[in-house]
Amino acid sequence: MAINREPILKRCRYLGISPAVMGIAKESNRNPNANKRKKVSEYGTQLKEKQKLKFIYGVLEKPFRHYFEIAEKMEGKAGENLITILESRLDNVVFRMGMSLTRRESRQLVSHGHFLVNGKKVDIPSYRVKVGDVIELSEKSKKSDKFKEITEATKGRVIPLWLEANRDAATAKVVRMPVKDDLDYEVEETFIVELYSK
């Protein structure tokens, strides 16, 4: 599996996103306007938006392209459908419900089999949840000190409206599919659609 070893803060600064979106509390102390000096072409702007989404969700080019093809076939706008697909990945749901500090960590925790979907163990981070699905921490993992530390550290995290979470029981139910308004970062998904339409 390919691993992105680029420093997270450096990448956040380049893409213009807050490290908090990635689950990191540190703030970069470099000049935030450093990247704005250069004039960026239309293609450069579109590419940056695509790189931003790929970086936030930790998805490589091939699966990202596949998600876009699925989003195009779905009803509605392709860009908004793409965001819904990315947000409904199991590793993202685990991060959103406050069961991991970062999405990278949630990917690892899911692949190690710590989570159940509707009572069945799922160890595929890219598994897409549906409305009505119940995601919970396995009984064995609930006793782990690691998860006690994580829940303590993520107490202040805002849980999105499309998830009905119970932090004490370490469960969450998908009430509805996520939409662009639920995001905690800015993205121009139309640029990604334009980029892939070329």
The whole-number mean pLDDT for each consecutive block of 10 residues of the chain, a chain of 198 residues, reads: 69 79 64 61 90 90 94 92 93 91 91 93 93 92 87 86 88 92 86 87
Domain count, the chain: 2
What range does the domain containing 145 cover?
90-176
Per-residue confidence (pLDDT) for residue 34, from 0 to 100: 52
Kind and range of the H or E element at 43? helix 42-57
What CATH number has the domain bearing residue 135?
3.10.290.10
Same domain, 102 and 134: yes
> How far is it, in rounded angstroms, from Cα 198 to Cα 187?
20
Rounded to whole angstroms, how far apart are CA atoms 57 and 187?
Answer: 13
Q: Which two tokens stand for residue 40?
A: 């960026």
According to the model, what pLDDT value does residue 124 have?
A: 93
Same domain, 104 and 171: yes
DSSP H or E segment with residue 111: helix 103-111
Take residue 52 and report the two structure tokens written for it: 């931003």
Core vs surface per residue 19-41: b (16+ CB within 10 A) or e: bebbbeeeeeeeeeeeeeeeeee
Instruction: Confirm whether 56 is domain-assigned.
Output: yes
Please indicate, yes or no, if residue 3 is contained in any of the structural domains: no
Are 127 and 112 within one domain?
Answer: yes
Rounded Cα distance, 56 and 87, in Å = 10
C-alpha 11/C-alpha 37 separation (Å) is 17
- pLDDT on residue 9: 79
pTM, 2 dp: 0.85
Q: What CATH number is given to the structural domain containing 24?
A: 1.10.1050.10
Are residue 134 and residue 69 in the same domain, yes or no?
no
